[in-house]
Amino acid sequence: MAKKDKAAQQEKKNEANENEEPNFSDEEGFVDRISDQDLLGDILAERPKETDGVESIIVVDKGPRVEPEKLNKFKSVINSFFSEPGQIVSAYYPVGEDGKTKGYFFLEYASPTIAQNAVSIYNNAPLDKNYTFAVNPFTDFKKYEEIPAWEPPTPEPYKPLPNLQYWLLDPDAFDQYIVRNDMNLVQVWHNTLPQPQVICEKEGWTETYVQWSPLGTYLVTFHKLGVILWGGPEWERIMRFHHPGAQFVDFSPCEQYMVTYSPQTENVNKKLIIFDIRSGAEMRSFSLEMPAIWPIFRWSKDDKYFARITRNLLSIYETPSFGLLDKKSINVSDIKDFSWSPTDNILAYWVAESKDGPARVVLMEVPSRKELRTNNVFNVADCKIHWQKSGDYLCVKVDRYSKIKKEKNDIKYSKMYYNLEIFHMREKLIPVDSIEIKEQIHAFAWEPVGSKFAIVHGEPKNVTVSFYNVKTKQDPVCLKKFEKRTCSHLFWSPHGQFIVLAQLLADSGALEFVDTNDFASMNTTEHFNASEVEWDPTGRYIFSGVPQWKSKIDTGYWIWSFQGKILKRYNTTSFVQFAWRPRPPTLLSPEQLKDIKKNLKKYTSEFEQKDRTRMTKASKELIEARCKLMDEFKKSITKRMQRWKDKKKRRLELRNHVDTDDLEGADAGSVEEESIEFLIKVEEIPVE
Amino acid sequence: MKPIILQGHERSITKIVYNREGDLLFSSAKDKTINVWFSLNGERLGTFDGHNGAVWGIDVDWQTTKLVSGGADNTIRLWDCLTGVELGCLSTQSAVRTSKFSYSGTSIAYSTDAALKQNCEIFLGDVRGDNLRNPYMTLPVRDSKVTALLWGEVDELLIAGFENGEISQWDLRMAKEVNNICEHNNSINDMQTSKDGTLFVTASKDNTAKLFDIDTLECLKCYKTERPVNSAALSPVYEHVVLGGGQEARDVTTTSTRAGKFDARFFHLIFEEEFGRVKGHFGPINSLAFHPDGKSFSSGGEDGFVRVHTFDQSYLDYRFDVGS
């Protein structure tokens, strides 16, 4: 190669010698009319600028001011401190009039990426306990210089929301419910009489499941990027909330705020987000260090406070600041569970037994943090807090043991017995009644209004359902015991009085409808394999369902009247979810309600009239449909009968001219008589 | 009314059939025996002994002189009804699934199961002269297996229901398949004609029973349930159809009889509305038959019992409201 090159050069030289080089110099007095820009603009544009390479420079601030004699040592410290991402190419330490450095300095790296790394590594990095560096890229100067002047945002044109409460205006107060199938086809039904109707239907409306907000205003759907709220008569999208992977949603009781939980999100600080529903704004986000019971945040009845527990802390937050109440959590070692009163800003929590003392149930007023009542209980294995919906009573079901055995990390309790500690919230000093039940308690439920509660206790296959009444200054009275029942769950009507005793375990589905005024069992029936039961918000209907994910056969949902009369069976193989649309509390005053109850007869006759009209119309429609079917069938029959008549001759031929078209046909005379004996009675006579 | 329970079989009932007058009820079972009973009091008249395996299909001619039966012992047999004497027996290559007398009672049709190297076939035999001769006609069957068989109105048509839910119709004068439909998507377990023979009802494992015109194979009605339907019968006097079936024995995982839904279910023929149920069996119903007078019906179940139910007056008086 080298030889060849040399040869080529030689040749060139020879050429140059042969043709003498022309003179390229400008003539005297020549004025160049073409500017450099025109001639080589493209090359000039690439000319290095003074500011080139600024991306590789970082500004380090909040450093110490160093005297000149120490500067060299400082430089070497800085050099080694900042050289982790890459070699420092140059450094500049501005010096003030007093000779000391100004506390800030500039470092240049070999490339912008290294500089970027350096910013992320060293920003807020402490040099020692006195100095913590603030590190910024040099380009920030430019960035902040160029911030455009603030313009007041133009107001968004007002878009009226649809009437979110429209369904409450239904003149007949028919309720709504949603039904979802396994392909996420979501249907909103209107529970009209005599037949419910679908009012809205969307395929793939959600990606997982749907949920109503607690007052029924919104329907929540879940998507990859977050959740969406729907509502109004046209089922419009009301608001979108961005929270990738959100799987759970919980609302504050007044529907002002919403908590979304995304268990798998990569952003650990945003596992839980609280949104303001009406503005859609994110109010605060939380991380979640340890597994917790959903809902993690529990809200006070007026949306003013929300609380969560972590290992030994009870944290109460305020709205709308979303900061901790009194800026600190409450230290409660071994706090196990807590629950807000449904009607007052009172919080009940219980603390497990420890070396220092017994288990405690505490009632705390918020925000004063005053402990209204503390109840000590001994030999406690577990507690369950049950508030009555009207907030009049609180029952803490205490599982107690007679013996405890510790094996490594396992604690084994034996000889269990159960206590019901009943707190009278509306009485002075909150007196507590205690009922001891020897048998295992499977279910507990307060009557939502009134002072009754029901418990299921005994052997799982043969339980007793007991009803108690709580009274002022008296021990609770056992009103009634239903013995030898199969029952695992209790469902009180939202307005009390009626209760459904349900066995929702596998291979059962027994349902018993009881009126607790006289403890009459109105109906005992079964929806085989049912695992879901829910009252409608008015206490008129009950749904029972066998979702597809629980059972392969007989999936579907049934609707019953409160008396246990089956109204409708929908047996659909793809059924997965059913939910009644909740209703907000009534706006009628207690006096108005009393008045209505007094004049019930008047209203009853009105409604009965309405029902009759509807039934007549429905039966008329049914009869019309039947008549139509009958007519069609008769038409098709005529042709067939003609054909049949035509073949009469052939038929007779085939059967030796015996007419067998009628049972009592031509051969009736030839029937032989046969005597037949009937067994009438069996008598046993002992032989003497 | 209290049903009469006929306890004459030790295993599942496969087929029950009334004679034309309805005074006798024949029943066959997996226990190799065929019984005949007085339908009025449930007294057993006699047995037809000879099969060496489950008896799948039986039929009686219109004069109640002969009985034909086919079974898992690869035989088709002809019996004298009066004496119970076996008149003839023919061996087949595989189990005989169905057997039927023609309208005239001079021919029988029977079908055999598909087995190893053996395709399903339909045979037609002459039974005049009180013996069983070799079949005079064989109809080849394509891929599926015949599970139900019917004669058309006047010995000219043959209709077969298949395991895959198809229904085929042959014109026997030409020995040619003239129609084929697919209205069911699972095995057709039973087909029974109306009293006049112009309609027939199918019972299918796809949880439905359907009503067809026997000539055109036009599907007229559909009766839906939640369980496989094993048998369906048309009332000779009312526009009623009764369906029987239930969860298949091998699929019964629960002991609750309510879960299996072993009730006989009554539907209105035209409105397709269910209006009544008769409980009783504690296994699926395998075969149903109306008494020719329409005042009683019988069911034979997987539980081995035949139940003869006489209708209450309320059933006979019941009318659907169709206005005035």
Q: What is the pLDDT of residues B281-294, one digit of tens each?
A: 888 999 999 999 99
Closest CA to A671 of B295, B16, B59, B20: B20
CB contact under 8 A, B153 and A654: no
Percent of chain A clearing pLDDT 90 (strictly above): 42
Pairing of strands B264-268, B274-278: antiparallel
CB contact under 8 A, A630 and B322: yes
Contacts of A83 (CB under 8 A, 6+ apart): none
Extract the residue ranges of chain B whose pLDDT is less than 50.
255
What's the count of helices (H) and strands (E) in chain A, helices before strands?
8, 42
Task: Pick the residue from chain A with its C-alpha nearest to B215.
Answer: A640
Q: Does B256 touch chain A (CB under 8 A)?
A: yes
CB contact under 8 A, B155 and A654: yes
Tokens at residue B301, please? 């179940």
CB contact under 8 A, A651 and B154: yes
Phi, psi of A419 (to 5 degrees): -120, 140
Where would I find the beta strands (DSSP E) of A378-416?
A: 380-387, 393-400, 403-407, 410-414
- Give contacts of B256 with chain A, Cβ < 8 Å: 507, 528
Q: Which helix (H) or strand (E) holds A8?
A: helix A2-18
Q: Do B278 and B296 touch, CB atoms closer than 8 A?
A: no
CB contact under 8 A, A644 and B198: yes
Tokens at residue A259, please? 């908590």
Q: How buried is residue A678: exposed, middle or buried, by Cβ count under 10 Å (0-12/13-18/19+)?
A: exposed
Distance in angstroms (rounded) separating the CA atoms of residues B142 and A281: 68
Mutation site for B-interface testing, chosen from A651, A675, A680 by largest number of B Cβ within 10 Å = A651
Task: Pick the residue from chain B with its C-alpha nearest to A647.
Answer: B154
Q: Does A554 touch chain B (CB under 8 A)?
A: yes
Tokens at residue A234, please? 């046209």
Contacts of A628 (CB under 8 A, 6+ apart): none
3-state secondary structure at position A348: strand
B121 to chain A nearest CA, in Å? 26
- Can you tell me the mean pLDDT for A656-665? 75
pLDDT of residue B115: 82
Distance in angstroms (rounded) separating the CA atoms of residues A294 and A334: 19
Q: Does A603 touch chain B (CB under 8 A)?
A: no
Distance in angstroms (rounded) separating the CA atoms of residues B193 and B151: 9
CB contact under 8 A, B103 and A651: yes
Percent of chain B clearing pLDDT 90 (strictly above): 68
pLDDT of residue B323: 64
**B-proximal residues of A, 659-678, CB under 8 Å:** 660-661, 663, 671, 674, 676-678
Size of interface A-B (CB pairs under 8 A): 84
Distance in angstroms (rounded) separating the CA atoms of residues B122 and B205: 22
pTM metric for this prediction: 0.72
The count of residues in chain A is 688
Facing B104 at nearest CB: one of A528, A619, A655: A655
CB contact under 8 A, A674 and B254: no
Instruction: List C-alpha distances in Å: B270 to A493, A632, A634, B178.
Output: 41, 9, 10, 28
CB contact under 8 A, A629 and B198: no
pLDDT of residue A19: 63
Q: Do A285 and A274 touch, CB atoms closer than 8 A?
A: yes
> Minimum mean pLDDT among A45-54, A366-375, A415-424, B2-11: which range?
A45-54
3-state secondary structure at position A666: helix
A221 to chain B nearest CA, in Å? 32
A542 to chain B nearest CA, in Å? 21
Distance in angstroms (rounded) separating the CA atoms of residues A93 and A70: 13
Facing A678 at nearest CB: one of B41, B254, B255: B41
Pairing of strands A510-515, A520-526: antiparallel
Q: Across-strand partners of B307?
A: B5, B299
Q: Does B7 touch chain A (CB under 8 A)?
A: no
DSSP B47-60: EE---SS-EEEEEE
Phi, psi of A356 (to 5 degrees): -80, -25
Q: Do A325 and A316 touch, CB atoms closer than 8 A?
A: yes
Q: Would the pLDDT of A8 be above 70?
A: no
pLDDT of residue A662: 75
Closest CA to A503 of A491, A487, A519: A487
DSSP A39-108: HHHHHHHTSPPTTTTGGGEEEEES-----HHHHHHHHHHHHHHT-SSS-EEEEE--B-TTSSB-S-EEEE
Q: Do B61 and B111 touch, CB atoms closer than 8 A?
A: no
CB contact under 8 A, A529 and B259: yes
Distance in angstroms (rounded) separating the CA atoms of residues A387 and B210: 55
CB contact under 8 A, A663 and B292: yes
A630 to chain B nearest CA, in Å? 7
Facing A640 at nearest CB: one of B198, B256, B322: B198
CB contact under 8 A, A627 and B21: no
Span A494-511, pLDDT tens digits: 999 999 999 988 778 899
- Give contacts of B238 with chain A, Cβ < 8 Å: none
- Give contacts of A640 with chain B, Cβ < 8 Å: 198-199, 213, 215
The count of residues in chain B is 324
| Range A467-471, long-range pairs (CB < 8 A, 24+ positions) | A467/A516, A467/A519, A468/A435, A470/A393, A470/A422, A470/A424, A470/A433
Task: Pick the residue from chain B with its C-alpha nearest to A673.
Answer: B23
Contacts of A230 (CB under 8 A, 6+ apart): A218, A219, A220, A221, A236, A237, A238
Closest CA to A562 of A614, A523, A588, A608: A523
Pairing of strands A197-203, A57-61: unpaired
Span A262-318, pLDDT tens digits: 988 888 888 999 999 999 999 999 988 888 888 899 999 999 999 999 888 899 999
Closest CA to B269 of B190, B167, B200, B188: B200
Task: Pick the residue from chain B with its C-alpha nearest to A556.
Answer: B226
- Give contacts of B259 with chain A, Cβ < 8 Å: 507, 528-529, 553-554
pLDDT of residue A657: 82
Q: Do A245 and A278 touch, CB atoms closer than 8 A?
A: no
Contacts of B274 (CB under 8 A, 6+ apart): B223, B265, B266, B267
The highest-confidence range among A49-58, A402-411, A534-543, A679-688, by mean pLDDT, is A534-543
Span A418-456, pLDDT tens digits: 999 999 999 988 999 999 999 999 999 999 988 899 999
pLDDT of residue A423: 93
Distance in angstroms (rounded) separating the CA atoms of residues A229 and A255: 12
Facing B226 at nearest CB: one of A554, A622, A654: A554
DSSP B198-213: SEEEEEETTSEEEEEE
- Give contacts of B197 with chain A, Cβ < 8 Å: 644
CB contact under 8 A, B247 and A553: yes
Q: Does B276 touch chain A (CB under 8 A)?
A: no
Q: Do B2 and A653 touch, CB atoms closer than 8 A?
A: no
- Residue with tokens 């001639």, as numbered in its chain: A39
Mutation site for B-interface testing, chosen from A569, A572, A626, A645 by largest number of B Cβ within 10 Å = A626
Radius of gyration, CA atoms only, chain B: 18
Phi, psi of A246 (to 5 degrees): -65, 130
Task: Pick the residue from chain B with its C-alpha nearest to A616.
Answer: B323
Phi, psi of A621 (to 5 degrees): -65, -40
Distance in angstroms (rounded) separating the CA atoms of residues A305 and A391: 17
pLDDT of residue B260: 59
Q: Do B190 and B202 touch, CB atoms closer than 8 A?
A: yes
Span A117-174, pLDDT tens digits: 888 888 888 888 888 888 888 888 878 888 888 888 888 888 888 899 999 998 888 9
Task: Pick the residue from chain A with its C-alpha nearest to B218.
Answer: A636
Tokens at residue B207, please? 């949880």
Confidence band of A21 (pLDDT split at 50, 70, 90): confident
pLDDT of residue A199: 93
- Give contacts of B213 with chain A, Cβ < 8 Å: 636, 640
**Amino acid present at B223:** Y
Distance in angstroms (rounded) separating the CA atoms of residues A432 and A377: 12
CB contact under 8 A, A571 and B226: yes
CB contact under 8 A, B220 and A636: yes
Facing A528 at nearest CB: one of B38, B62, B259: B259
3-class SS shares of chain B: helix, strand, coil, % to 5: 5, 50, 45
Task: Pick the residue from chain A with its C-alpha nearest to B225.
Answer: A571
Facing B153 at nearest CB: one of A641, A647, A674: A647
CB contact under 8 A, A626 and B322: yes
- Give contacts of A660 with chain B, Cβ < 8 Å: 20, 62
CB contact under 8 A, A676 and B256: no
How many Cβ atoms are within 10 Å of B186's Cβ, its own excluded?
Answer: 15
- Give contacts of B323 with chain A, Cβ < 8 Å: 623-624, 626-627
